[in-house]
Amino acid sequence: MDKIERIKQLITEINKHNYNYYVLDNPTIADREYDAIYDELVRLEKETGVVLPDSPTKQVGDVVLEGFKKHTHLQKLYSLDKCNNFSELESWINGVNEAYGNQLYTMEYKFDGLQMTITYENGKFVSAATRGNGYVGEDVTNQVLTIKSVPLFINFKGKVVVQGEAMMKLSVLAEYNKTALEPLKNARNAAAGAIRNLDPRVTGSRNLSMFFYGVPYIEGKKFETHLELVEFLKSNGFPVFDYMEAKSDIASIEAEINKIDKIKQNLDILIDGVVIKVNNFKVRDKLGYTSKFPKWAVAYKFEAQELTTTLNNVVWQVGRTGKLTPIAEVDPIELAGATVKRATLNNFGDILRKDVKINSKVFVRRSNEVIPEILGVAEHTDNSFDIKKPTNCPCCGSEIVEDGANLFCPNYFGCAEQIDDRINHYASRNAMNIEGLSGKTIGLLRENLGVKTVADLYKISGSQLLALDKFKDKKSQNLVESIQNSKNPEFYRFIFALGINGVGERTAKDLAKQFGSLEKLMSATVSELTEVDEIGLITAENIYNFFHNDTQINLINELLDLGININYPENNQVTHSELTGKTIVITGDFEHFTRTQLTTELERYGAKVTSSVSKKTDLVVVGNNPGSKFNKAQELGVNVMFETELNKILL
Ligand SMILES: [Zn+2]
């Protein structure tokens, strides 16, 4: 075959694979095979000196630029008016509805990345630019060419400017930081820094993603609705983030915003709000613009999750595993509705890696259910100094043992903080749920009754408690009762209560499901443990080591001897009005369950799980990428339940 012909063939093939991989997220070829055809193309291009305009090798970006050229936007790019609470949102929606009748509103995530436009002519990528001041931006064509999900060619042949956001996925950021000499502080800065970098190789190395949501300029086409515009983007191969809702009433819009606010921490991208737009373009035209904003869209902003503050001091906390966790004390800041005074630094290795020092300005991030975390240094000051590595346990004075990035106090039976934290965790609501066992009480029991392990709790008698100060009749009786009442835990609660490093409640549930009994769990091999979803090698080894440690084995046996009687899930039928007795069909993929697990779980609720949707079906549960069963359910008017609602019942 002619070399040029082969080049053309390879280009078509590679561009198809790029589209499958980067846009659809559905690779249809092994990495190694891909590399082979890519290498062949590079070789042929070198041999022939021919690099065709649509060659994917042009997306590598290997020329360092001297400066950014200016790019004047064909159409002014407006920013969005913001609202920070529901009453502002309601007054906007009511205003629109009163003037033009009840409207349908589209809802999209408000990405926290770098806004950009890309121009196509005759179906070809021409240039890319940052938003800049809305009139003039910077030409970042070479940088954007390194973003593999951005199409070089589209079906539409007229001149068109598309608008989107360049972002670094959080998983990509974490991966990048694992080996980076200088870890990137956050995903937004990482994306903006990558695009606005004169060396496109740097842009390429950051593995950015881009998601599209607007068409500020188009020749030879008029959109009727925003939903149609989004379909246009998708059908031309532009990656569109897989979230879009269209709602007409305020209550559903607000419910949706609340839902997003709850799940936003679990997304792989940063978002800082929800964009709400009037769907109908005729109404948009009538609404028009202020000098700054379109009147047909608003951005509902969530409260900031990330801010900078000064780090004043670091104290070391000893946890239930003996691990020392550095806790940073910072100048108090208001973050996402709470005052943050302390934030974790994970371990000593983390301090070194992030180069965090006392008196430096640091980034603090707060997630919904997690303690605030120090992300990195914003800047050092003249007074900045290194955080000292402790040599002795701050609680019991034992000499510290180092294990990788972590420091440990080895004094298992004698270190008060460790003992208290273990008992506290064991007794906590989601573990054994022993009421009335506060941190203070635990300290009292340890000091006065010599309670050193969770097993010792079951040996406490009412008369022993009565002998203590502050323990009146009723209180002693209640505590002894709630300790004794904890003896029949569900299996997962017992696993969670043991406090194995890396085993949270979710993982405990997974382990309970997978192994079914304590005996099987204790004899599981590392490789059997890694078969459980979400359990990596490190956690698997932690679990294995825990169950092969004499201290732990003795403790578990002691607990069983003291009358702990684990309640296994198969003996544990439960009911729920929406599931019990219902005929249910499952479609799509679920984050927390395999199909089999979900079936078992639904059956535990007394549901009958069948495979096809008919009029007799009571409910279709819908995961990601649902199949035709979802459409069928809608056609037949069968009730559907989405994963988030389902999780509220099952998890
Ligand atoms: Zn200690």
CATH assignment, 583-650:
3.40.50.10190
Q: Please calculate the CA angle 427-430-432 and round it to the nearest 5 degrees.
A: 40
Q: What is the pLDDT of residue 285?
A: 94
Identify whether the C-beta of residue 305 lies closer than 8 Å to the C-beta of residue 186: no
Specify the CATH architecture of the domain 81-301: 2-Layer Sandwich (3.30)
> What is the distance in A from the centroid of ligand 1 to the CA of 554?
21
CATH assignment, 306-408:
2.40.50.140
pLDDT band at residue 283 using 50, 70 and 90 as cut-offs = very high
Q: How far apart are CA 384 and CA 382, in angstroms?
A: 6
Residues 6+ apart with CB under 8 A from 384: 357, 358, 359, 360
* Amino acid identity, position 162: V
Q: What is the pLDDT of residue 66?
A: 62
> What is the distance in A from the centroid of ligand 1 to the CA of 414?
7
> What is the distance in A from the centroid of ligand 1 to the CA of 352?
23
**Does the pLDDT of residue 1 top 90, yes or no?**
no
Q: What is the pLDDT of residue 19?
A: 75
Catalytic residue among 110, 264, 354, 513, which? Answer: 110
More confident residue, 371 or 106: 106
Q: How far apart are CA 574 and CA 497, in angstroms?
A: 22
HSE (CB half, 13 Å, CA atoms) of 440? 4
pLDDT tens digit sequence for 94-105? 999 999 999 999
**Does the pLDDT of residue 436 top 90, yes or no?**
no
Tell me the average pLDDT of the chain: 88
> What is the distance in A from the centroid of ligand 1 to the CA of 416?
7
Q: How far apart are CA 405 and CA 244, in angstroms?
A: 42
> What is the distance in A from the centroid of ligand 1 to the CA of 452?
13
Identify whether the C-beta of residue 291 lies closer than 8 Å to the C-beta of residue 258: no
> What is the distance in A from the centroid of ligand 1 to the CA of 109?
46
Query: Which residues, in sequence order, are bridge partners of residue 624?
Result: 589
Residues 6+ apart with CB under 8 A from 523: 547
Residues 6+ apart with CB under 8 A from 487: 458, 562, 563, 564, 565
> What is the distance in A from the centroid of ligand 1 to the CA of 300?
48
Q: How far apart are CA 593 and CA 574, in angstroms?
A: 18
**Does the pLDDT of residue 33 top 80, yes or no?**
no
For the CA atoms of 563, 564, 565, 567, the dihedral, rounded to the nearest 10 degrees, stands at 160
Do the first three CATH levels of 416-485 and 491-571 match, i.e. the same topology?
yes
pLDDT band at residue 536 using 50, 70 and 90 as cut-offs = confident
Q: What is the pLDDT of residue 125?
A: 94
Q: What is the pLDDT of residue 197?
A: 83
pLDDT band at residue 156 using 50, 70 and 90 as cut-offs = very high
Largest CA distance in the chain: 96
Q: How far apart are CA 551 and CA 538, in angstroms?
A: 20
**Does the pLDDT of residue 452 top 80, yes or no?**
yes
> What is the distance in A from the centroid of ligand 1 to the CA of 413?
9
Helix, strand and coil in the chain, % to nearest 5? 40, 25, 40
> What is the distance in A from the centroid of ligand 1 to the CA of 618?
57
Top mean-pLDDT range of 10-19, 112-121, 583-592, 620-629: 112-121
Q: What is the DSSP string of 82-119?
A: EE-SHHHHHHHHHHHHHHH-S--EEEEEEE-SEEEEEE
Q: What is the pLDDT of residue 62?
A: 45
Cα 530–chain centre separation: 21
Q: Give mean pLDDT, residues 511-530.
A: 91
Q: What is the pLDDT of residue 366?
A: 74
Q: Give mean pLDDT, residues 321-342.
A: 87
Percent of the chain with pLDDT over 70: 95
> What is the distance in A from the centroid of ligand 1 to the CA of 435?
27
CATH 3.40.50.1820, domain 491-571, yes or no = no
pLDDT band at residue 606 using 50, 70 and 90 as cut-offs = confident
More confident residue, 179 or 551: 551
Q: Give mean pLDDT, residues 626-635.
A: 85
Residues having C-beta closer than 5 Å to ion ligand 1: 393, 395-396, 398, 409, 411, 415
Percent of the chain with pLDDT over 90: 49
Residue 110 falls in the annotated catalytic set: yes
More confident residue, 192 or 383: 383
**Does the pLDDT of residue 369 top 50, yes or no?**
no
Q: Give mean pLDDT, residues 122-133.
A: 91
pLDDT band at residue 116 using 50, 70 and 90 as cut-offs = very high
pLDDT tens digit sequence for 474-507? 778 888 999 999 999 999 999 999 999 889 888 8
Q: Which fold does the domain 3-59 belong to in CATH?
A: Helix Hairpins (1.10.287)
> What is the distance in A from the centroid of ligand 1 to the CA of 409?
5
Q: What is the pLDDT of residue 183?
A: 73
**Does the pLDDT of residue 60 top 60, yes or no?**
no
> What is the distance in A from the centroid of ligand 1 to the CA of 388?
17
Q: What is the pLDDT of residue 594?
A: 80
Q: Give mean pLDDT, residues 118-135.
A: 91
Q: Give mean pLDDT, residues 627-646.
A: 87
| Lowest mean pLDDT across 22-26, 133-137, 140-144, 314-318 | 22-26
pLDDT band at residue 651 using 50, 70 and 90 as cut-offs = confident
Q: What is the pLDDT of residue 347?
A: 87
> What is the distance in A from the centroid of ligand 1 to the CA of 443?
15
Q: What is the DSSP string of 239-289?
A: ---S--EEE-SHHHHHHHHHHHHHHGGGSSS-EEEEEEEESBHHHHHHH-B
Indicate the helix (H) or strand (E) that contains 74: none
Q: Give mean pLDDT, residues 323-336.
A: 89
Query: Which residues, in sequence order, are bridge partners of residue 618?
Result: none
Q: What is the pLDDT of residue 370?
A: 59
Q: Give mean pLDDT, residues 396-409.
A: 92
Q: Give mean pLDDT, residues 171-191.
A: 80
Q: What is the pLDDT of residue 23?
A: 64
More confident residue, 635 or 238: 238
Q: What is the pLDDT of residue 304?
A: 65
Eight-class DSSP state of 58: G
Identify whether the C-beta of residue 58 lies closer than 8 Å to the C-beta of residue 240: no
> What is the distance in A from the centroid of ligand 1 to the CA of 325?
12
Where are the domains positioned within the chain? Answer: 3-59, 81-301, 306-408, 416-485, 491-571, 583-650
pLDDT band at residue 150 using 50, 70 and 90 as cut-offs = very high
> What is the distance in A from the centroid of ligand 1 to the CA of 551?
17
pLDDT band at residue 24 using 50, 70 and 90 as cut-offs = low
> What is the distance in A from the centroid of ligand 1 to the CA of 321?
10
> What is the distance in A from the centroid of ligand 1 to the CA of 422?
13
The CATH number of domain 416-485, selected from 3.40.109.10, 3.20.20.140, 3.30.930.10, 1.10.150.20: 1.10.150.20
More confident residue, 409 or 372: 409
More confident residue, 9 or 367: 9
- Of 300, 272, 245, the closest CA to residue 113 belongs to 272
> What is the distance in A from the centroid of ligand 1 to the CA of 323?
9
Phi, psi of 365 (to 5 degrees): -125, 140
Q: What is the pLDDT of residue 354?
A: 85
